[in-house]
């Protein structure tokens, strides 16, 4: 069963809260989704006023085309300078780094823009300091484990206290190693290399990388975590730093395991019920639905339902409205004194009620 991933937009929203620099998150059409206090102050607009606005509307007219050309380009280089226009007509030149992101579903594509106002003195060093400043604030401002990965060596160059507390390894044990180097057996190492290859391909093409992984803890054991990696590129287009956040999902994994167990239980009950429904000999113990006051249509609908058909599939099969099917199922549940399909199946099996 595929586990649900943390929404990348939630990560980006938290990133904004942890950062004091100019930050905008925009969708694939370059409409503003979120803005932080620094961006709102620079642009002279509230978050409500900025939400849904095209980002180019906030850029001086003679700089809009160049910004969009850079943002929509396929090159790795997505850093530069642009002059923003405030509501009051003021201009502010900003050195920015633009990172694309994409959810696994393919929906929710967009960009996170991190910038710093530098006046007229915009340098390559200034652009590098933009991502560096963000990284430092991420280390101090996040309660979840955060790692800074060097874009050239692909090794950890720093981590926060939460990483040490969560996984039990010291900061020195993390530094200078690849983040997934702690996988011990051959199979785990192969999986780690596969994930790493997928991540670096994503950084160079789609931007933000997300993956559910199992991360080892000191003394043995694995913690299910949602890994989110946010890449930042230098002035020459090279991958400079990756900020990696690991969000522990132990409780969620337990719920998924319990759900899987319940699904197996339902499938078992459905199998037993299907066998009973197929055997219509009157000498079988128990009673039938028809003798309990259920209509022929309700019997027919319940038989299809316990076989695994959805309300939509049943409506198509019987040529009736889907809402009619749902109304019949609700009536069936009320008569049996249950609230769900699981309860219905359990009651029919335990009381050996024939579906006829």
**What residue spans of the chain are helical by DSSP H?**
8-17, 37-43, 47-50, 61-72, 124-141, 161-167, 171-174, 186-205, 250-278, 296-306, 311-318, 322-336, 341-350
Q: Is residue 3 part of a domain?
A: no
**What CATH number should be reported for the domain holding residue 163?**
3.30.450.20
Q: Positive or negative CA dihedral for 330, 334, 335, 340?
A: positive
pLDDT band at 5 (very low <50, low <70, confident <90, very high): very low
- In this prediction, residue 165 carries a pLDDT of 92
Judged against a pLDDT cut of 50, whether residue 134 lies above it is answered with yes
Judged against a pLDDT cut of 90, whether residue 142 lies above it is answered with no
Q: Are 307 and 301 in contact (CB under 8 A)?
A: no
Q: Which of 216, 248, 280 is a domain's end point?
A: 248
Shared domain for 116 and 165, answered yes or no, is yes
Computed over every residue of the chain, the mean pLDDT equals 77
C-alpha–C-alpha distance, residues 303 and 317, integer Å: 12
Q: Which of 214, 248, 282 is a domain's end point?
A: 248
Shared domain for 241 and 277, answered yes or no, is no
pLDDT digits (tens, 9 = 90+) for 307-327: 778 888 888 888 888 888 888
- In this prediction, residue 211 carries a pLDDT of 86
Q: Which of 193, 213, 248 is a domain's end point?
A: 248
Q: Is residue 56 part of a domain?
A: yes
Q: Is residue 331 part of a domain?
A: yes
Shared domain for 273 and 232, answered yes or no, is no
Shared domain for 165 and 302, answered yes or no, is no
Shared domain for 239 and 261, answered yes or no, is no
Query: DSSP label at 119?
Result: T
Expressed as residue numbers, the domain containing 236 is 8-248
Edge to edge, what strands does the sheet with 209-216 contain? 156-159, 146-150, 239-248, 222-233, 209-216
C-alpha–C-alpha distance, residues 162 and 159, integer Å: 8
Chain centroid to CA 35: how far?
20
Q: Is residue 355 part of a domain?
A: no
Shared domain for 316 and 221, answered yes or no, is no
Lowest-confidence region among 46-55, 202-211, 281-290? 281-290
pLDDT digits (tens, 9 = 90+) for 33-68: 888 888 888 888 888 889 899 999 999 998 888 888
Q: Is residue 356 part of a domain?
A: no
Backbone phi and psi for residue 301, each to the nearest 5 degrees, phi listed first = -65, -45
Judged against a pLDDT cut of 50, whether residue 288 lies above it is answered with yes
**What CATH number should be reported for the domain holding residue 331?**
1.10.10.10
- Give helix 311-318 / helix 296-306 axis angle, nearest 10°: 130
Shared domain for 273 and 234, answered yes or no, is no
Shared domain for 31 and 149, answered yes or no, is yes
Q: How many angstroms separate the Cα of 97 from the Cα of each of 121, 144, 191, 313, 347?
A: 16, 24, 31, 50, 60
Shared domain for 18 and 133, answered yes or no, is yes
The total of structural domains in the chain comes to 2
Q: Is residue 307 part of a domain?
A: yes
Shared domain for 243 and 266, answered yes or no, is no
Cβ neighbour number for residue 88 with a 10 Å cutoff = 8
Task: Name the nearest CA neighbour of 117 among 95, 132, 136, 97.
Answer: 95
Q: Is residue 309 part of a domain?
A: yes
Q: Supply the pTM of this predicted model.
A: 0.51
Shared domain for 224 and 279, answered yes or no, is no
Shared domain for 220 and 331, answered yes or no, is no
Q: Is residue 1 part of a domain?
A: no
At 164, is the secondary structure helix, strand, or coil?
helix
């Amino acid at each position: 069963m595929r586990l649900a991933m943390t929404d990348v937009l939630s990560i980006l929203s938290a990133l904004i809260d942890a950062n004091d620099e100019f930050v905008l998150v925009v969708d694939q059409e370059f409409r503003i989704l979120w803005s932080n206090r620094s961006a709102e102050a620079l642009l002279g607009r509230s978050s409500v006023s900025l939400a849904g606005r095209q980002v180019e509307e906030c850029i001086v007219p003679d700089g809009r085309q160049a910004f969009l050309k850079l943002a929509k380009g396929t090159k790795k280089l997505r850093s530069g300078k642009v002059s923003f226009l405030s509501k009051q007509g003021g201009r502010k030149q900003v050195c920015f780094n633009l990172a694309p992101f994409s959810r696994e579903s393919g929906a929710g594509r967009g960009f996170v823009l991190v910038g710093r106002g530098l006046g007229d003195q915009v340098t390559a060093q200034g652009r590098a300091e933009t991502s560096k400043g963000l990284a430092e604030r991420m280390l101090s401002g996040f309660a979840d484990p955060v790692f800074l990965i060097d874009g050239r060596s692909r090794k950890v160059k720093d981590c926060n206290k939460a990483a040490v507390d969560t996984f039990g390894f010291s900061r020195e044990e993390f530094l200078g190693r690849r983040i997934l180097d702690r996988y011990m057996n051959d199979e785990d190492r192969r999986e780690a290399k596969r994930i790493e290859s997928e991540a670096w391909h994503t950084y160079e093409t789609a931007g933000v990388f997300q993956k559910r992984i199992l991360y080892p803890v000191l003394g043995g054991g694995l913690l299910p975590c949602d890994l989110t990696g946010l890449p930042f590129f230098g002035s020459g287009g090279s991958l400079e730093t990756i900020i990696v956040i690991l969000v522990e999902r132990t409780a969620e994994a337990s719920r998924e395991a319990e759900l899987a167990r319940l699904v197996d239980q339902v499938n078992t009950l459905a199998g037993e019920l299907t066998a009973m429904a197929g055997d219509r000999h009157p000498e079988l113990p128990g009673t039938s639905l028809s003798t309990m006051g259920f209509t022929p249509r309700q019997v027919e609908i319940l038989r299809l339902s316990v076989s695994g058909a959805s309300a939509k599939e049943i409506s198509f099969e019987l040529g009736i409205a889907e809402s009619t099917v749902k109304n019949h199922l609700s009536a069936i549940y009320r008569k049996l004194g249950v609230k769900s399909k699981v309860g219905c199946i359990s009651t029919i099996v335990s009381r050996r009620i024939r579906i006829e």
